[in-house]
Structure 1
Amino acid sequence: MAFRDLVAEIDSVVFDTLADVGFIEGRRVLGMFSAPWLQPKIGRLNTGLREPCFHIRVADAAGVEKTQTVQIELPVLDGGGEYTLIHLEPAGDGLVALSLRLKA
């Protein structure tokens, strides 16, 4: 078994167990959502991150483009809601980071 195949198998288990549910233009996608403003504040950490981010698998990124609507299925207080996709960035590890902006 090739390394990429092994990692894809591990990702499937992790995503099936731990992932958040999102909808990109109505298509259901599993991913890992994070909203920097909701993170625990321990000490003082200055980062350039401000936008919420949804990490999805490369295989799920086919057809995903800037300005599409991304709905995160979480309670509003946990960052759930409707977002606009502002940037896609492949991470080189089989995932793609989607930078999001909350719709007004």
Structure 2
Amino acid sequence: MGFRELSEDMDALVLDGLGDMGTVGGREVAGFFSAPWLQPRIGRINTALREPQFEIRVSDASGIEPGQLVLIDLPAQDGGGQYDLVKLEPDGTGWVALLLRAKR
């Protein structure tokens, strides 16, 4: 088994155990949600997150485009709710960050 296959298996296990569920363009997708107002703090130094993001695997990004509605299935206190998809940013490691804007 090659490195990519092992990575895909590991990603699936991590998403299954620790991932968040979202709906993008009407399709359910597993990923990791992060929001700037909930950013982790290391001592008194803030992390560099600026906009809400939902990171998904490249293999799940087919057909996902800016302008689609993104629903994050988390309690409101954890940032769950409706967002507009502004931009997709692949990171070169098999993951794509969906940059979001809170739906008003």
TM-score, shorter chain, exceeding 0.5:
yes
Give me the whole-angstrom Cα distance separating, in 1, the residues matched to 2:47 and 2:56: 25
Instruction: Letter of the 2:83 partner, please give it.
Output: Y
* Aligned CA distance change for structure 1 residues 93 and 40 (closer, same or farther; 3 Å): closer
Q: Secondary structure at the match of 1:101?
A: strand
Deviation at 1:99, TM superposition (A): 0.5
Deviation at 1:46, TM superposition (A): 6.5
Mapping of residues 3-42 of structure 1, within 5 Å: 3-41=3-41, 42=43
Q: Secondary structure at the match of 2:45?
A: coil
Give me the whole-angstrom Cα distance separating, in 1, the residues matched to 2:25 and 2:87: 15
Tell me whether 37-46 or 66-75 shows the greater mean CA deviation.
37-46
1:55 aligns with 55
Structure 1 unaligned regions, length at least 5? none
Aligned residues: 103
* Aligned CA distance change for structure 1 residues 5 and 46 (closer, same or farther; 3 Å): closer
Structure 2 unaligned regions, length at least 5? none
Mapping of residues 65-76 of structure 1, within 5 Å: 65-76=65-76
Give me the whole-angstrom Cα distance separating, in 2, the residues matched to 1:6 and 1:46: 30
Instruction: Letter of the 1:43 partner, please give it.
Output: R
Could you give the per-residue CA deviations for residues 56-94 of structure 1, whole angstroms, max 9, x where no partner exists?
A: 011110000001100000001110000000010111111
TM-score by length of 1: 0.93
* Aligned CA distance change for structure 1 residues 76 and 15 (closer, same or farther; 3 Å): same
RMSD across aligned positions (CA) = 1.2
Could you give the per-residue CA deviations for residues 19-58 of structure 1, whole angstroms, max 9, x where no partner exists?
A: 10000011100000000211244313363x3210000011
2:45 aligns with 44
